[in-house]
Structure 1
Amino acid sequence: MSEEVCPKCGLPSELCVCEEIAKEDQRIKVYVENRAYGKPMTIVKGIDSKDIDLNELATELKTKCACGGTVKNKKIELQGDHKRKVKDMLIQKGFSEQSVVLGK
Structure 2
Amino acid sequence: MRICPKCGLPLEACICKELEKEKEKITISSVKRSYGKIVTVIEGIKADTKEIAKKLKKQLACGGTVKENVIELQGDHKKKAKEILVKLGFKEENISIV
TM-score range, shorter chain: over 0.9
Tell me which stretches of 4 or more aligned residues in structure 1 moved more than 4 Å: none
Instruction: In structure 2, list runs of 5 or more residues that go unmatched.
Output: none
Aligned match of 1:66: 61
**C-alpha distance in 1, partners of 2:65/2:80?**
17
Aligned match of 1:97: 92
**C-alpha distance in 2, partners of 1:71/1:12?**
30
Deviation of residue 11 (structure 1)?
A: 1.4
User: In terms of Rg, which structure is larger?
Assistant: 1
Deviation string 1:35-91 (CA, Å, 9 cap, x unpaired) is: 11111100000111xxx1111111111111100010112210000000011100111
TM-score of the aligned structures, taking structure 2 as reference length: 0.95
3-state DSSP of counterpart to 1:16:
coil
Instruction: Report the AA paired with residue 66 of structure 1.
Output: A
Question: CA RMSD, aligned part only?
Answer: 0.9
Matched length: 98
| 14-23 vs 52-61, greater mean Cα deviation | 52-61
Equivalent residues in 2 for 1:1-104 (5 A)? 3-48=1-46, 52-103=47-98
Instruction: In structure 1, list runs of 5 or more residues that go unmatched.
Output: none
Q: Percent same amino acid among aligned pairs? A: 48
**C-alpha distance in 2, partners of 1:86/1:44?**
9
**C-alpha distance in 2, partners of 1:43/1:92?**
18
TM-score of the aligned structures, taking structure 1 as reference length: 0.90
